[in-house]
């Protein structure tokens, strides 16, 4: 049975249930990298060039962690676009090449390409090419894909019920309750930053302990993102940018939250633009408190906790006033 290593980073939080189902249906075994630790992050930092953003450095660290696990392949997809007319950041497009060039002596990389901005026929051909590594049975490949899509749908339905990706992927109970508090805080940012407790310094846990309800983009249906950005003069080119901005504007326009925390990565081009637009719009016409947290490998937990506490105090004060 082929063993396929999957790094527990980047799009793992968006698509892992589908990847797992697809490969398992084709008879392969999935091997995940360990949970993020300082050692994993440091090994990624060691190989990355300085300008690389934190989540990509961490991804390298997880790839390195898989070296010790005796896998036959590494699954590092090349995700260009997951919807028409919008794209993921170029780092996702070049991820397999960057890994190959920076990290020699790795197991063979499966770099399946997903580009839904092109004709869907190309996507299906790539999908069959991927499946052919494990079986010559086209029907089996097709059924594996169908089952994977069903798994992804179930996963997203769980997220809409208020579970976080980490809770679903680890099959844990919901750690927060919507009845806990009358204060709702939106925490917006890339799923791979927010849901890795080491990188986010357990931001959800910290906010829960402060007695507030956390709302994230994943808990909102896709239609909300489009509704949120419908009044922008220019459409948003980035899929993740659309999710972050659409959620921020929708939640505020509909008075659904008492404050917003935006988490961005240092060195992220798309984040710097999206963050700037959100901040300017807030300053111009919004009355809700907004906190920007920028993460990099030097961010200290004490500093994050202090800023969060001060922010929540301000939200509570504003609400009571
Ligand atoms: S969107 Fe930003 S944080 Fe995410 S991979 Fe691209 S540069 Fe890095």
The preferred substitution site among 10, 59, 93, 190 for testing ligand 1, maximizing ligand atoms within 8 Å of CB, is 190
3-class state of residue 291 by DSSP: strand
| Residue 265 Cβ < 6 Å to ligand 1 | yes
Give me the pLDDT at residue 50, please: 84
Has residue 180 got a pLDDT over 80?
Answer: no
Measured CA distances, 98 to 31, 168, 288 (Å)? 21, 30, 41
CA of 268 to the centre of ligand 1 (A): 5
Q: Give dist(CA 107, CA 69) in Å, integer.
A: 11
| Residue 271 Cβ < 6 Å to ligand 1 | yes
Cα torsion through 261, 262, 266, 272, rounded to 10: -150
- Given this structure, which CATH class describes domain 165-320? alpha beta
Q: pTM, whole model, 2 decimals?
A: 0.92
Of all atoms in ligand 1, which is nearest to the CA of residue 92? Answer: 5
Give me the pLDDT at residue 98, please: 95
Q: Give dist(CA 21, CA 148) in Å, integer.
A: 5
CB-based contact 292:275 (threshold 8 Å): yes
Q: Which CATH architecture has domain 3-160?
A: 3-Layer(aba) Sandwich (3.40)
Residue 125 is given by DSSP the state H
Instruction: Dump pLDDT digits (tens) for 226-258.
Output: 888 887 888 888 899 999 999 988 988 888 899
Domain boundaries, the chain: 3-160, 165-320
| Same-fold call for 3-160 versus 165-320 | yes
Instruction: Dump pLDDT digits (tens) for 135-146.
Output: 989 999 999 999
CB-based contact 296:54 (threshold 8 Å): yes
| Residue 270 Cβ < 6 Å to ligand 1 | yes
Both tokens assigned to 68:
């010790």
Burial annotation 175-189 (CB, 10 A radius, 16+ → b, else e): ebeeeebebbbbbbb
């Amino acid at each position: 049975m082929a063993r396929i290593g999957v790094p527990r980073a980047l799009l793992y939080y968006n698509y892992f249930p589908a990847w797992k189902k697809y490969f398992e249906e084709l008879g392969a075994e999935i091997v995940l990298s360990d949970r993020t630790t300082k050692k994993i992050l440091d090994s990624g930092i060691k190989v990355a060039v300085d300008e690389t953003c934190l989540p990509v450095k961490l991804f390298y660290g997880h790839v390195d962690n898989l070296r010790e696990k005796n896998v036959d392949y590494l699954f590092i997809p090349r995700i260009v676009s997951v919807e028409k007319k919008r794209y993921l950041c170029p780092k996702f497009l070049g991820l397999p090449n960057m890994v190959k060039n920076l990290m020699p002596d790795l197991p063979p990389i499966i770099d399946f390409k997903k580009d839904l901005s092109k004709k869907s026929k190309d996507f299906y051909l790539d999908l069959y090419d991927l499946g052919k590594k494990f079986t010559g049975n086209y029907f089996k490949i097709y059924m594996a894909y169908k089952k994977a899509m069903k798994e992804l749908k179930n996963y997203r339905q769980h997220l809409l019920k208020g579970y976080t990706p980490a809770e679903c992927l680890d099959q844990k109970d919901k750690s927060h309750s919507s009845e806990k508090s009358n204060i709702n805080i939106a925490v917006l940012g890339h799923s791979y930053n927010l849901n890795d407790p080491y990188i986010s310094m357990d931001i959800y846990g910290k906010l829960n302990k402060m007695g507030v309800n956390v709302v994230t983009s994943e808990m909102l249906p896709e239609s909300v993102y489009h509704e949120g950005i419908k009044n922008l003069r220019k459409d948003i080119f980035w899929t993740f940018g659309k999710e972050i901005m659409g959620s921020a504007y929708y939640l505020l326009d509909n008075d659904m939250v008492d404050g917003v925390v935006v988490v961005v990565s240092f060195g992220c081009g798309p984040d710097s633009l999206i963050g700037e637009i959100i901040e300017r719009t807030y300053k111009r016409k919004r009355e809700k408190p907004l906190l920007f947290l920028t993460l990099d490998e030097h961010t200290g937990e004490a500093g994050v906790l202090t800023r969060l506490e001060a922010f929540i105090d301000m939200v509570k004060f504003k609400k009571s006033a």
